[in-house]
Amino acid sequence: MNNILVPYDFDPQSDLAFEQAIHLARHTHSGITLLYVHETHGILSGLFSSEQREEMLERISDQMDAVAAKMSFRSGIDINVRLETGRIYTVIVDVASEMQAEFIVMGTRSFEPEPAGGIRMAGANASRVIRSARCPVITIGGKTHYDGCRTILLPVELNRESTQKIKWAIRLAAIYGARVRVVATHEPDKSGRIKERLAKQVSAVRDQISKAGIPGEADLLEVRQGEKTAVPTLLDYAEKKGDVDLIVIMTQQESAIVEFFIDSMAQEMIRRSEIPVMSVVPKEIVSPSGMES
Q: What is the reported pLDDT for 20?
A: 93
Length of the chain: 293
Task: Give the tens place of pLDDT for each residue, 144-196.
Answer: 888 889 999 999 887 655 788 899 999 999 999 999 999 999 887 766 888 88
- Of 42-51, 112-121, 157-166, where does the model show the most confidence? 157-166
Q: What is the reported pLDDT for 144?
A: 81
Q: What is the pTM of this model?
A: 0.84
Confidence of residue 128 (pLDDT cuts 50, 70, 90): confident
Confidence of residue 248 (pLDDT cuts 50, 70, 90): very high
Interatomic CA distance for residues 282 and 277, integer angstroms: 16
Lowest mean pLDDT among 116-125, 141-150, 238-247: 116-125
DSSP string, 2-51: EEEEEE--S-HHHHHHHHHHHHHHHHHTEEEEEEEEEETTSTTGGGS-HH
Task: Give the tens place of pLDDT for each residue, 215-231.
Answer: 999 999 988 777 888 89
Domains and CATH numbers, the chain: 2-140 (3.40.50.620), 151-280 (3.40.50.620)
Confidence of residue 236 (pLDDT cuts 50, 70, 90): very high
Check residues 188 and 9 and name the one with the higher pLDDT.
9
Confidence of residue 1 (pLDDT cuts 50, 70, 90): low
What percent of the chain has a predicted confidence (pLDDT) above 90? 49
- Of 32-36, 131-135, 191-195, where does the model show the most confidence? 32-36
Q: What is the reported pLDDT for 117?
A: 44
Phi, psi of 30 (to 5 degrees): -110, 160
Q: Within 182-291, where are the H helices?
A: 192-211, 231-241, 264-272
For 245-268, give one letter per residue: b (16+ CB within 10 A) or e. Answer: bbbbbbbbeeeeeeeeebbebbbb
